């Protein structure tokens, strides 16, 4: 089957051009000024055609969390957000930390996924031999939890951390790190154990906890020489450390999330546990540092950390409510709105959400609109407005921390492998 996208503007080689696209057999066949005829033709008048987004940080909850999300609903949510490729996290139940678990998970995902997929393989204190045997094209990185989060995959010992980094170096895989210092978190839990307000979350998982963990990860990486990707960076102190380290080492990259870019810890006053995530929301000056990090190139990617939970779970008291928020459907609309507000350039959105993830995680033929590349595209309308309503989302949890936000810029269509899979809701 072939597909034609005519009369739109295409983001091609760092700029928008007026051109048309023909896709054949799932690939981009031709980019030209001429109008294409095809079995399926899409009129993109007034629309912009972007490479399909690559979300390097999702929790689609399978296995063990089917009540929160699965690969069908997660895929539909991705398509709704213009995301055509996802990289799923390992902290499921059971976790993805063995070759056998990988085989079982691939069987499930291959059956249900509507988007392209890869996995972060979980490192533990006892699976170094499994890591050495890793040889699967679907593995994008090795994930290390330096601080505890959802699941039980903490790797706190610096000697084991170093061995993991060294294995990753030999495998030419990135190590993706959840950088929060466990010792500081535990000390703060004892300090605030008699309080029950969501507002203590940013005190328990303090700026210092992230700073120390990032410093330790950078130190180990410098010794091991591997590729290092620091996830969901949220503090000004961490940004300063990463900016300095990146001056001398191109193998270092880091991610920011939409919730850390667009919300502050004041959101906890209004939303309570519905704004609880790890790491927590920060102060305005931290948010400013993240935006500066985008402008100066310190931040390499934006990933959603899409982590849906049911409403009834979030409505529990602070200590029992799980951390995490959904975000895969709202990332691109939030960024397009920022483009409209002149806070961000469209080319930076594509760099952060398409090009850089493809490079960092060695994903071939994606992230760019080029002849011969995979036919993964997002068609957006920069002028159209929409109000975020949880009931309209495809994620199972049906809520958003950005509920009620009016955004200018919507995803109109999403194409995966040359097939139109999402169109106008």
Burial 131-151 (b: 16+ CB within 10 A, else e): beebeeebbbbbbbbbbbbbb
What residues pair up with 145 in beta bridges, in sequence order? Answer: 154, 178
In a domain, 395, yes or no: no
Q: What is the DSSP letter of 354?
A: I
- Conformational region of residue 225, where left means phi above 0, alpha means psi within -120 to 50, and beta covers everything else: left
Domain match, 192 and 85 both: yes
Domain boundary among 305, 326, 360: 360
| Bridge partners, 121 (sequence order) | 142
Q: Which tens digits make up the pLDDT trace of 284-311?
A: 999 999 999 999 999 999 999 999 999 9
Give CA–CA dist 260/195, Å, rounded.
24
Average pLDDT over residues 131-139: 95
Query: Tell me: the pLDDT tens digits for 138-174?
Result: 999 999 999 877 667 899 999 999 999 999 999 999 9
Residues 102 and 19 both lie in one domain: no
Strands (E), 262-310: 301-302
Q: What is the pLDDT of residue 1?
A: 76
In a domain, 390, yes or no: no
Residue 82 lies in a domain: yes
Residues contacting residue 414 through CB under 8 Å, at least 6 positions apart: 52, 79, 80, 82, 83, 84, 377, 378, 379, 420, 421, 422, 423
Indicate whether 164 and 37 sit together in one domain: no
Same domain, residue pair 43 and 101: no
Question: Alpha-carbon distance 25 to 291, whole Å?
Answer: 39
DSSP annotation of 299 reads: -
The count of other CB atoms within 10 Å of the CB of residue 216 is 16
Order of strands across the sheet that contains 40-43: 27-32, 20-24, 2-6, 40-43
Please count the structural domains in the chain: 2
377 and 274 in a common domain: no
- Based on the domain organization, do 296 and 275 belong to the same domain? yes
C-alpha 218/C-alpha 245 separation (Å) is: 7
Catalytic residue among 55, 305, 376, 381: 305
- What the block records as the tokens of 279 is 């790491």
Q: What residues pair up with 3 in beta bridges, in sequence order?
A: 23, 40
User: Rounded CA gap, 220 and 215, in Å?
Assistant: 9
pLDDT digits (tens, 9 = 90+) for 355-376: 999 999 999 999 999 999 999 9
| 116 & 43 share domain | no
Is residue 365 situated within a structural domain? no
Q: What is the pLDDT of the chain when averaged over all its residues?
A: 96
- Taking residues 116-134, report their average pLDDT: 96
Judgement on whether residues 174 and 114 belong to the same structural domain of the protein: yes
pLDDT at 150: 65
Each residue's pLDDT tens digit, 46-90:
999 999 999 999 999 999 999 999 999 999 999 999 999 999 999
- Per-residue model confidence as pLDDT tens digits over 175-214: 999 999 999 999 999 999 999 999 999 999 999 999 999 9
How does residue 269 score in pLDDT terms, banded at 50, 70 and 90? very high
Give the tokens for residue 317. 């008291």
Structure tokens at 256: 């920011």
Q: Is 305 tagged catalytic? A: yes
CATH number of the domain that 148 lies in?
3.20.20.140
User: What radius of gyration do the chain's Cα atoms show?
Assistant: 21
Taking the CA atoms of residue 16, residue 363, residue 422 and residue 255 in that order, the dihedral angle to the nearest 10 degrees is -80
Q: What is the mean pLDDT of residues 319-328?
A: 97
Q: Are residues 42 and 119 in the same domain?
A: no
Rounded Cα gap, residues 271 and 326, in angstroms: 14
The answer on 63 and 178 residing in a single domain is: yes
Task: Identify the pLDDT of residue 425.
Answer: 60
Residue 74's SS3 state is helix
Do 68 and 140 share a domain, yes or no? Answer: yes
**Residue 406: band (very low, low, confident or very high) from pLDDT cuts 50, 70, 90:** very high
Q: State which residues form the domain around 12.
A: 2-48+371-385+407-423
**How far is 255 from 238, CA to CA, in rounded Å?**
11
Question: For helices 182-191 and 207-224, what crossing angle results, to 10°?
Answer: 170
């Amino acid at each position: 089957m072939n597909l034609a996208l005519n009369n739109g503007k295409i983001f091609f080689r760092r700029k928008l051009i007026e051109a048309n696209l023909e896709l054949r057999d799932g690939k981009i066949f031709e980019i030209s000024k001429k109008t294409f005829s095809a079995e399926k033709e899409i009129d993109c008048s007034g629309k912009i055609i972007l490479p399909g987004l690559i979300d390097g940080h999702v929790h689609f909850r399978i296995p063990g969390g089917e009540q929160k999300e699965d690969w069908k609903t997660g895929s539909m949510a991705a398509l709704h957000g213009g995301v055509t490729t996802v990289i799923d996290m390992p902290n499921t139940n059971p976790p993805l930390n063995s070759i056998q678990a990988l085989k079982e998970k691939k069987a499930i995902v291959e059956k249900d996924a509507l988007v392209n997929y890869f996995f972060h393989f979980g490192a533990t204190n006892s699976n170094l031999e499994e890591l050495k045997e890793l040889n699967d094209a679907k593995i994008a990185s090795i994930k290390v939890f330096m601080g505890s989060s959802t699941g039980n995959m903490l790797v706190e010992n610096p000697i084991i951390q170093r061995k993991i980094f060294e294995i990753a170096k030999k495998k030419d895989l990135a190590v993706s790190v959840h950088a929060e210092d466990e010792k500081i978190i535990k000390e703060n839990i004892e300090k605030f154990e008699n309080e029950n307000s969501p507002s203590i979350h940013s005190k328990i998982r303090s700026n210092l906890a992230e700073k120390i963990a990032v410093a330790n990860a950078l130190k180990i990486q410098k010794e091991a020489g591997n590729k290092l990707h620091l996830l969901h960076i949220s503090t000004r102190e961490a940004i300063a450390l990463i900016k300095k380290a990146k001056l001398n080492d191109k193998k270092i990259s880091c991610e920011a999330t939409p919730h850390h870019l667009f919300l502050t810890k004041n959101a906890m006053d209004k939303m309570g546990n519905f704004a609880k995530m790890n790491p927590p929301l920060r102060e305005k000056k931290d948010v400013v540092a993240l935006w500066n990090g985008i402008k100066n190139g310190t931040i390499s990617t934006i990933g959603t950390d899409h982590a849906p939970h049911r409403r009834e779970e979030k409505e529990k008291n602070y200590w029992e409510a799980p951390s995490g928020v959904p975000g895969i459907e709202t990332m691109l609309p939030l960024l397009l709105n920022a483009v409209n507000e002149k806070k961000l350039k469209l080319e930076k959105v594509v760099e952060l959400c398409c090009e850089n993830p493809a490079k960092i995680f060695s994903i071939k033929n994606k992230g760019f609109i080029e002849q011969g590349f995979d036919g993964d595209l997002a068609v957006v309308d920069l002028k159209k407005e929409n109000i975020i309503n949880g009931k309209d989302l495809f994620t199972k949890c049906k809520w958003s921390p950005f509920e009620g936000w009016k955004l200018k810029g919507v995803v109109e269509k999403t194409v995966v492998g040359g097939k139109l899979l999402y169109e106008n809701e």
